[in-house]
A and B are shown apart, each in its own frame.
Chain A
Amino acid sequence: MLLHPLLAFLRYDPTTNPLNNNEWSFPLLEILHILGFALSIGTIAVVDLRLLGWGMKRSTPSQLLKDTAPWSLAGLAVMLTTGPGIFSSDPYMYLNNQGFRFKMGALLLAIVYNYTIRRKVAMANASGAAAALVGGISLALWVSVVAGGLFIAFV
């Protein structure tokens, strides 16, 4: 994989990472990671729920998407900084971990899906079974990312 030669080239030694050398930095980063995905996934879920015909029924999917998009993005920004931060504490361990690999695959799928199919369907204010399917898949993808992350410690 690309990362191995890069890390070797940089002579990166994880034992020098501050995350591994004081008590609170790692748990703090993890907590920010969790809060970040509550923000991103929560705001995404509001739209997904609406596509399923549930939740904030007085608003249309496109209205909800427009209003939640900046917050979902903010949440994602938190994830994409805290995530690599956590990763940096033990890169080879994560790279070789099946839970992590699954998570990254699911994450890539979830992000791409979010900004393509789901966006299109929500902006079109679709309803019915097709819209529900799109919303349901989105939820499933993001829950898979969370599951993958958790399973890092259980494989």
Chain B
Amino acid sequence: MQIAHAIQSTDLGTAIRESALVFPVILTTHLACIAVFGGMILVTDLRLLGWALKGRAVADVVDGLRNWKRLGFCIMVAMGALLAGSEAEKYAINPFFWCKMITLALIGVHALVFRRSVYAKASEFDSTGVIPGRAKLAAALSLLLWMGMVTFGRLIGYYEPAQKTQSMIQTTAANPHS
């Protein structure tokens, strides 16, 4: 909790938390990335499952969108860090936030596990014309994990701590600046 208080009490954290436009703009950026780049993740998963864009080469989808998805991911994480950092005390006790972080870690594990056997082999799937079960599994898990991210992410804003935990939050004592 001390760490959380320290993080959100930085000038940057405070500025974001109390801002008029900065906070909503950061949040909008986070959401826009979900729309554009999260959507591309969706497209990749749907292609690997053999459901969408069946006429397009798997390699075109996987390789063509790879760097964009990475860019989007970096922006999303950066925006997320700014948001969470600005209200670290509230996030620290928010179970939905932690579920989301666990899911994010699982996404990292997923990438490591399937990188060599699936994502690096897209052109192979095109030449054989068959998408192996392992690739479909990777896609299905990816879908589940990213839907989890969206779900937990949205629910973060809905969590209301019990009164006891509420008092643990030292947050902005009445106007330290006045």
> Which of the 9-residue segments A31-39, A80-88, A113-121 touches chain B?
A31-39
A residues near B70, Cβ cutoff 8 Å: none
B residues near A59, Cβ cutoff 8 Å: 56-57, 60
A residues near B56, Cβ cutoff 8 Å: 56, 58-59, 63-64, 67
Contact of A150 among B31, B39, B150 (CB under 8 A): B31
B residues near A139, Cβ cutoff 8 Å: 36
Which of B53, B54, B68 has the largest number of chain A CB atoms within 10 A? Answer: B53
Q: How far is the CA of A46 from the CA of B36 in the complex (A)?
A: 8
A46 touches B35 (CB 8 A): no
- SS class, residues of chain A in contact with chain B: helix
Given contacts A54-B68, A56-B61, A58-B60, contact A154 B24 (CB under 8 A): yes
- SS class, residues of chain B in contact with chain A: helix
B38 touches A147 (CB 8 A): no
In the complex formed, the residue of A with least CB distance to B155 is A27
A146 interfacial by beta-carbon distance below 8 Å: yes
Q: How far is the CA of A43 from the CA of B54 in the complex (A)?
A: 14
Q: Which of B29-57 contact A (CB under 8 A)?
A: 31-32, 34-43, 46, 52-57
Contact of B35 among A56, A68, A143, A151 (CB under 8 A): A143
State which size class the interface on B falls in.
35 or more
A residues near B28, Cβ cutoff 8 Å: 146-147, 150-151
Q: How far is the CA of A40 from the CA of B37 in the complex (A)?
A: 12
Q: How far is the CA of A66 from the CA of B27 in the complex (A)?
A: 32
B150 touches A35 (CB 8 A): yes
In the complex formed, the residue of A with least CB distance to B38 is A38
Number of A residues with CB within 8 Å of any CB on chain B: 38
A13 interfacial by beta-carbon distance below 8 Å: no
Interface residue ranges, B against A (CB under 8 Å): 23-24, 27-28, 31-32, 34-43, 46, 52-57, 59-61, 64-65, 68, 147, 150-151, 154-155, 158
Interface residue ranges, A against B (CB under 8 Å): 27, 30-31, 34-35, 37-46, 49, 54-59, 63-64, 66-68, 71, 139, 142-143, 146-147, 149-151, 153-154
A sample of 17 cross-chain residue pairs with beta-carbon separation below 8 angstroms, ordered by A number, consists of: A31-B150, A34-B31, A37-B35, A38-B35, A38-B38, A38-B39, A39-B39, A39-B42, A43-B42, A43-B43, A45-B39, A55-B68, A67-B56, A68-B52, A71-B43, A139-B36, A146-B28
